[in-house]
Structure 1
Amino acid sequence: MTVREYCIEIYKLLNEVGEIHWAKSFKIFISELEESEDKSIYRKIISIYGGMGSFNDLVLYKNGILCRKENDELAKLRSELYLEIGNNWT
């Protein structure tokens, strides 16, 4: 998958469980990736991975219930997106 495709899949997953804040961020990333082939957006995406309250810390809940399947999928997509950016950022 491309960086854009990973962002779309993550956006869908976040939106599905009602994680509006992070879904909005990914919607912006998707728009920026569609508008330009400039890879500077990669820096913005990578920046959400570090620090307290970062994307790495995100655990999905819906109606107060832990979303196991969705968290497993998010962990996979989160790692793969990071690797895809690393492989394509030159």
Structure 2
Amino acid sequence: MTVKDYCIAIQKLLTEVEELNWAKCFENFISELELSEDHSTYRKIIAIYGGMGSFDDLVLYKDGVLCQKENDTLHTLKKELYNKIGNVWQ
């Protein structure tokens, strides 16, 4: 999968559980990647992984119920996206 493919999968998952702020963030990344898949967008993506309340801390709930399956999928996608970008920079 490409960086854009990971972003699309994450955006779709976030939309499904109505995590719309983060979904919009990934929608913006997708738009930027469609224009140019360069390192400036990769830096923006990596930047959301750090700090308190970051994307890396996100736990998905819908209607007050933990979305275990979706959280497992998101965890995998987050890790793979981060590693994909890291591999591009090597």
Q: Same fold (TM over 0.5)?
A: yes
Identity value in percent: 69
- In structure 1, the partner of 2:63 is 63
| 1:34-58 deviation per Cα after TM superposition (whole angstroms, max 9, x unaligned) | 0113221000000000000000100
Check the 8 A contact 1:13/1:70 in 2, yes or no. Answer: yes
Check the 8 A contact 1:42/1:89 in 2, yes or no. Answer: no
* Structural mapping, 1:14-29, within 5 Å: 14-29=14-29
Which contiguous aligned blocks of 4+ residues in structure 1 show a shift greater than 3 angstroms?
none
Alpha-carbon distance in structure 1 between the residues aligned to 2:15 and 2:27: 10
Structure 1 runs not aligned, ≥5 long: none
* Structural mapping, 1:1-90, within 5 Å: 1-89=1-89
Structure 2 runs not aligned, ≥5 long: none
| 1:22-75 deviation per Cα after TM superposition (whole angstroms, max 9, x unaligned) | 000000000000011322100000000000000010000000000000000000
CA RMSD of aligned residues (A): 0.8
Q: TM-score, normalised by structure 1?
A: 0.97
Question: Which residue type is aligned with residue 41 of structure 1?
Answer: T
